[in-house]
């Protein structure tokens, strides 16, 4: 009888333990978090930062390791975003071969997150010992983009948005002001074409142009949106008309408009604020360059976040969290933004006098340029759909005189059905 009672009691404890394990799954609870790195630990970080960007990242990493001698951060450059994405995609099939953390666009991580391969950072951010310093200071659109199902999986890293780069010398000569909406952009561009014989403006990223135009029309590019909608046709026709008349142009074989802009072949272009160094190098002392907010009521937040993989040890997860928290302090965000051209992810850094006086052309306008940031939905198929939007725009604008917008959008709708399903 005594044996039966002991057996029953043992089964109760075993059941309770199993229930506890089952409810936790792959989530990290506060009890599982290592709050202090007492022994040496090494973390690996996959990234795609090159040139001056890599120099800045390396400098910040060395500063972090000096302040945290028990943590060694091994930076592993994957050459390009394309190569980084391919390596992540190939390696998730063998989680033990994943790094501790990686730089990635949110939509790259949708499936790994669903497969429980990515660490939920929420318990770390809320932990009393490790808690994040004023998480609400991170720009809302950046915070939103890093969440899935209400959990925080990413920490904003190298972020940007599109702005209007313009030849201030030329616009001043013609008595023109930087346009603030699509109507003004077309009108100013027409004037420049008439007076100077060059294209007035263009958009670096055609897929960003498309989704942003839709946003200003009150539409969101997702699986519920019908791309044969009037707003979609309006987006294509606005740019198409300008290309036909010669007051707009696309990057085409130049890949980016910073080259033609620097050579005086186009007077303005909408492109990433992170391209500031390239703009300055291309322009040199040929004319005065200036920047203004995206000439519409919305602007897409772009760039990557930092993610920690679940395959890391408890100590590595904490060390990685400490590193990403370090990279996003106000002080380090001002340093990173000033050295790279990316925008600070903290509102306090954007508003700081130190950043505004850093010499960046973007710094003085960034508060206005980030007022209406939006985020493309992070859902399955979003990355492929977004890229397809750019392909559709390119197809129409590369052959403007033979473009059939209606037919093109019908084909786009058919293609999207297979992508979204």
pLDDT of residue 28: 62
List, for residues 317-372, the tens digit of each pLDDT value: 999 999 999 999 999 999 999 999 999 999 999 999 999 999 999 999 999 999 89
Is 168 part of any domain? Answer: yes
Expressed as residue numbers, the domain containing 241 is 160-300+374-420
pLDDT of residue 421: 80
Q: What is the Cα–Cα distance from 252 to 245, expressed in whole angstroms?
A: 17
Please state, rounded to an integer, the average pLDDT across all residues of the chain.
91
Region 154-161: what's the mean pLDDT? Answer: 95
Residue 169 and residue 56 in one domain: no
Residue 69 and residue 213 in one domain: no
Residue 75 and residue 184 in one domain: no
Residue 344 and residue 356 in one domain: yes
Domain end marker among 324, 344, 364: 364
Residue 406 has a CB neighbour count (10 Å cut-off) of: 11
Residue 39 and residue 117 in one domain: yes
Burial class (CB in 10 A: 0-12, 13-18, 19+), 21: exposed
Residue 314 and residue 354 in one domain: yes
Is 17 part of any domain? Answer: no
Residue 278 and residue 390 in one domain: yes
Residue 2 scores a pLDDT above 80: no
pLDDT of residue 379: 84
Contacts of 124 (CB under 8 A, 6+ apart): 28, 33, 130, 132, 317, 318, 321
List, for residues 63-118, the tens digit of each pLDDT value: 999 999 999 999 999 999 999 999 999 999 999 999 999 999 998 999 999 999 99
Residue 178 scores a pLDDT above 70: yes
Residue 43 and residue 106 in one domain: yes
Burial class (CB in 10 A: 0-12, 13-18, 19+), 166: buried
Domain end marker among 364, 387, 411: 364
What is the pLDDT confidence band of residue 20, given thresholds at 50, 70 and 90?
A: very low
What is the pLDDT confidence band of residue 15, given thresholds at 50, 70 and 90?
A: very low
Is 352 part of any domain? Answer: yes
pLDDT of residue 179: 98
Residue 225 scores a pLDDT above 80: yes
Q: Tokens 């001002």 belong to which residue?
A: 334
N-terminal to C-terminal alpha carbon distance within the chain = 60
pLDDT of residue 370: 92
* Consecutive H or E run containing 166: strand 155-167
Residue 278 and residue 406 in one domain: yes
List, for residues 281-323, the tens digit of each pLDDT value: 999 999 999 999 999 999 999 999 999 999 999 999 999 999 9
Q: Which two tokens stand for residue 357?
A: 């006086």
Count of domains in the chain?
Answer: 2
Residue 296 and residue 164 in one domain: yes
Residue 172 and residue 257 in one domain: yes
Is 212 part of any domain? Answer: yes
Is 26 part of any domain? Answer: no
* Consecutive H or E run containing 243: helix 230-245
Is 23 part of any domain? Answer: no
Domain end marker among 345, 364, 383: 364
CB-based contacts of 327-334 (< 8 A; 24+ apart in sequence)? 327/60, 327/64, 327/155, 327/157, 328/138, 328/155, 328/156, 328/157, 329/133, 330/137, 332/60, 332/63, 334/358
CATH of the domain at 332: 3.40.190.10
């Amino acid at each position: 009888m005594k044996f039966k009672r002991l057996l029953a009691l043992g089964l109760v404890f075993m059941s309770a333990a199993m229930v506890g394990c089952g409810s936790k799954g792959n989530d990290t609870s506060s009890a599982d978090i290592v709050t202090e790195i007492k022994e040496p630990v090494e973390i690996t970080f996959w990234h795609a930062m090159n040139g001056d960007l890599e120099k800045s990242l390396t400098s910040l990493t060395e500063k972090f390791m000096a302040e945290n001698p028990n943590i060694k951060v091994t930076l592993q450059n994957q050459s390009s975003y394309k190569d980084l994405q391919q390596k992540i995609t190939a390696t998730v099939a063998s989680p033990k071969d994943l790094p501790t953390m990686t730089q990635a666009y949110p939509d790259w991580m949708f499936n790994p997150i669903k497969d429980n391969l990515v660490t939920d950072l929420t318990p770390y951010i809320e932990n009393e010992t490790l808690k994040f310093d004023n998480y609400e200071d991170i720009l809302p659109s950046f915070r939103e983009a890093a969440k899935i199902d209400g959990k925080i999986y990413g920490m904003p890293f190298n972020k940007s948005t599109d702005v209007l780069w313009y030849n201030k010398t030329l616009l001043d000569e013609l008595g023109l002001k930087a346009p603030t909406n699509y109507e003004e952009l077309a009108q100013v561009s027409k004037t420049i074409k008439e007076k100077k014989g060059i294209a007035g403006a263009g958009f670096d990223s055609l897929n960003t142009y498309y989704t942003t135009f839709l946003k200003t029309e009150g539409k969101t590019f997702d699986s519920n949106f019908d791309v044969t909608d009037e707003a979609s046709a309006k987006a294509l026709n606005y740019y198409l008309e300008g290309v036909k008349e010669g007051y707009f142009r696309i990057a085409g074989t130049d890949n980016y408009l910073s080259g033609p802009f620097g050579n005086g072949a186009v007077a303005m272009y909408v492109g990433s604020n992170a391209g500031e160094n390239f703009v300055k190098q291309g322009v040199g002392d040929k004319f005065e360059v200036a920047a203004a907010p995206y000439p519409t009521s919305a602007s897409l937040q772009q760039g990557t976040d930092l993610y920690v993989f679940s395959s890391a040890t408890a100590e590595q997860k904490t060390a990685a969290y400490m590193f990403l928290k370090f990279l996003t302090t106000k002080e380090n965000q001002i340093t990173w933004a000033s050295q790279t051209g990316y925008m600070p992810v903290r509102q306090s850094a954007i508003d700081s006098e130190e950043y505004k006086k850093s010499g960046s052309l973007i710094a003085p306008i960034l508060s206005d340029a980030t007022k209406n940031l939006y985020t493309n939905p992070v859902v399955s198929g979003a990355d492929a759909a977004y890229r397809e939007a750019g392909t559709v725009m390119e197809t129409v604008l590369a052959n403007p005189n033979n473009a059939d917008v209606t037919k093109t959008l019908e084909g786009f709708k058919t293609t999207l059905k297979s992508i979204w399903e």
